[in-house]
């Protein structure tokens, strides 16, 4: 859960509405509520992260639109730092 914790910790500040309930998190995937309101465009967010070397996935959890970040495989602290830098550049809302 260290990867999910690191990602969520950063997003607490950058994306305050991202929280999903704890039971929707796992060691291999982290699910976030899609931001509400103007300015959020999943496709644009997806493309900015893809350009930086990361792929996210859209999703739906009950009635909420979500996006998911997989943290499966040989993911270490350096990878999470790279992701956090990419998120800083991709979050434009």
CATH classification at residue 42: 3.90.1150.10
Instruction: Inform me whether the pLDDT recorded for 40 exceeds 80.
Output: yes
Structural domain harbouring 72: 2-90
Quick one: CA torsion of 30, 35, 39, 43, rounded to 10 degrees? 40
- Confirm if 77 and 5 have CB atoms less than 8 A apart: no
In the chain, % of residues over pLDDT 70: 70
Q: What is the pLDDT of residues 46-69, one digit of tens each?
A: 999 999 999 988 887 777 788 888
Q: What is the tally of structural domains in the chain?
A: 1
Q: Which of 73, 50, 68 is nearest to 7 (CA)?
A: 68
Q: How long, in residues, is the chain? A: 93
pLDDT for residue 59: 80
pLDDT surpassing 60 at residue 35: yes
Q: What is the pTM of this model?
A: 0.71
pLDDT in tens, 12-29: 555 555 555 554 556 677
3 state SS of 66: strand
- Contacts of 45 by beta carbon, 8 Å cutoff, 6+ apart: 56, 67, 90, 91, 92
């Amino acid at each position: 859960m260290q990867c999910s914790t690191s990602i969520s910790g950063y997003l607490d500040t950058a994306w305050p509405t991202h929280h999903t309930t704890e039971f929707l998190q796992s060691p291999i995937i982290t699910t976030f509520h899609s931001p509400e309101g103007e300015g959020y465009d999943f496709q644009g967010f997806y493309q900015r992260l893809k350009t930086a070397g990361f792929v996210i996935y859209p999703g739906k959890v009950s009635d909420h639109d979500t996006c998911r970040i997989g943290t499966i495989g040989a993911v270490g602290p350096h990878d999470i730092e790279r992701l956090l830098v990419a998120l800083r550049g991709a979050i434009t809302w």
